[in-house]
Structure 1
Amino acid sequence: MTAPTWDPQQYLRHADHRTRPFHDLLSRIPGTPATIADLGCGAGNVTALLADRWPDARITGFDNSPQMLEQAQRYAGPGLGFAHADAATWTPAVPYDLLVSNALLQWVPGHADRFADWLDGLAPGGTFAFQVPGNFTAPSHTLLAALRESPRWKSRLSGVGDRAGAVLEPAGYLSRLTDLGCTADVWETAYLQLLTGDDPVLDWVKGTALRPVLTALAEDEEAAAAFLTEYRDLLREAYPPGPHGTVFPFRRIFAVARRGNQ
């Protein structure tokens, strides 16, 4: 399957809502790490938050999207840099005090199997912290999956962007991390986001869940427009606007795991 092409500007259209879970994750990370890896740094805006919190740290943001890395370079400076890496195969080359990942791991099949390698790349007492979406049973995702598998689109889009089982439930992450000898804090939060504008849920998923479909149909503008129209109509029914905007429930799963001192 072709890797999705990312659109940093589309992704950042909802930067306030998208960044809120990272702020909540950041608030639970202990200590003052001197070396930090941000795995899946995207457009670099959350990597910059790490630099704001720990201005003396040496921070590297890693991503496999050229489009995102180009956008991220605007945040580069003393102690803060960016590099290409694929989380499916990346292993820390130097020990880090903190490895953090924001809204990436759902795109990495079998990511929990990589935890041991990543934890081995932490300095003794180091921290591994991440957050992922837990909303794959929400209408935004189930309707998209059903539409991809419908008679009109199945031959072109069957399985494209399928992330059923993309993340573990919180108890699964807790078990994996504690089995690896970590002290782990795992929790979940459902944000009731109030989105505004025309078809705001469609605009939201254009930056994330829809990227594989838009990539697959990139050479056929007519087909892409037709798919978006069908999906838009389904989303309008599932997420009707209210007097103050459209409520979009957004469940996130968080983990902060600390490696032992040995």
Structure 2
Amino acid sequence: MWNPNQYERFKAERDLPFFDLMGMLRRDPRPARSMRVLDLGCGTGELTSVLHRDLGAAETLGIDSSAEMLARAPNVPGLRFEKANIETFAPSAPFDLVWSNAALQWVQDHTSLFARLTKFVAPGGQIAVQMPANFDYPTHVIAAKVAAEAPFAEGAATPYRRDFPLLTPEGYAKLLYDLGYTKQCVRLQVYAHLLPSREDVVEWVKGSLLTDYQSRLSPELYELFLARYKERLLPELADTRPFFYPFKRLLIWGSR
């Protein structure tokens, strides 16, 4: 249950890794008049349009599973959007760039996933992926613990399993090598965010991580979940103003 307004409360901070990933792309000295780009998990499409224009792509397709996000998609020549799931999406032709910013962490089995996505990459093309890697931080650990408590475990429409799919940085490097990417760059980066207070960390995850829990619970149970989550999380965080919020992310680039 994605809420664009909640997600974009920290837009400047969330946009930083997008631009860092864009800086990792190989730039062809020739005009990219025929370049085709695929954005997996495009959200509102605002950043998709930035990528599209920056690359001078002939065609860019953004897909997302959230109708609420796609309702905000911009109308830009050469840029189109589809409502689709990353797990089942199958394009009819390959792309020069397969791109995903903060989306693939929701998909299981990354060894199989990256093998399937590589089939979408044209010969000589590129893949570029950014994913949050903060799953060992209290925000994520405590959410999973609260979800296992009563009444949330019994009241969830589907059970929540805390099995985050991310590999290690060296695991992705080896995976890219095995998949035939002749050039690559994989890095783990810590983004240092200064939030007004520790309470704002809850507002941050309400726009991302907690949407998954919200989708499994009734509105009444989710409100109880949120109250219990705050009760357990806030004492784990330093009561400082501003609050220093370290956030790890994986940035992955490969060229075939």
Report the counterpart of residue 115 of structure 2 in structure 1.
116
Instruction: Specify the alignment match of 1:31 in structure 2.
Output: 27
Partner of 1:186: 186
Residue 134 of structure 1 corresponds to: 133
| Residue 140 of structure 1: how far off its partner (Å) | 0.5
- Which one of the candidate residues 233, 250, 258 is aligned to 2:255? 258
Q: CA deviation at 1:239?
A: 2.1
In the alignment of these two chains, the number of paired residues is: 250
CA apart distance, 1:56: 4.3
Listed one character per residue, the Cα deviations across residues 201-226 of structure 1 (whole Å, up to 9, x for unaligned) are 110111111112212224x43x3222
How far residue 19 of structure 1 moved from its aligned partner, in angstroms, is 1.0
Corresponding residue of 2:236 = 238
Which runs of structure 2 are paired with 1:158-173 in the superposition (5 Å)?
A: 160-173=159-172
- Give the counterpart letter for 1:66 in structure 2: A
What is the DSSP-based 3-state SS (H/G/I as helix, E as strand, rest coil) of the residue aligned with 1:174?
A: helix
Query: RMSD of aligned C-alpha atoms?
Result: 1.9
SS at match of 2:244: strand
Distance 2:156 2:245 in 1: 25
Identical positions, percent: 34
Q: What does residue 87 of structure 2 align with?
A: 88
**What are the within-5 Å matches in structure 2 for residues 1-262 of structure 1?**
5-32=1-28, 33=32, 34-72=35-73, 75-157=74-156, 160-182=159-181, 183-196=183-196, 199-218=199-218, 220-221=219-220, 223-243=221-241, 245-259=242-256
- Supply the distance in 2 between the matched residues of 1:21 and 1:190 (Cα, whole angstroms): 10
Q: Distance in 2 between matches of 1:93 and 1:214?
A: 34
Paired with 1:165 and 1:227, the residues of 2 have a C-alpha distance of 21
Q: Is residue 63–residue 85 contact of structure 1 (8 Å, CA) maintained in 2?
A: yes
| Partners of 1:44 and 1:99 in 2: CA distance | 15
Write the distance in 2 (CA, Å) between the matches of 1:115 and 1:241: 40
Unaligned 5+ segments in structure 1 are none
Select between 96-105 and 156-165 the one with higher mean Cα deviation: 156-165
Alpha carbons 1:128, 1:256 under 8 Å: kept:
yes
Structure 1: distance between partners of 2:157 and 2:139: 17
Secondary structure of the residue aligned to 2:72 is helix
Contact 2:147–2:160 (CA under 8 A) maintained in structure 1? no
Counterpart CA distance in 1 for 2:63 and 2:132 is 20
**What per-residue deviation string (whole Å, max 9, x for no partner) do you get for residues 166-206 of structure 1?**
21111111111100110221111011211125710110111
Unpaired runs of 5+ residues, structure 2, are none
Query: 2: distance between equivalents of 1:24 and 1:162?
Result: 31
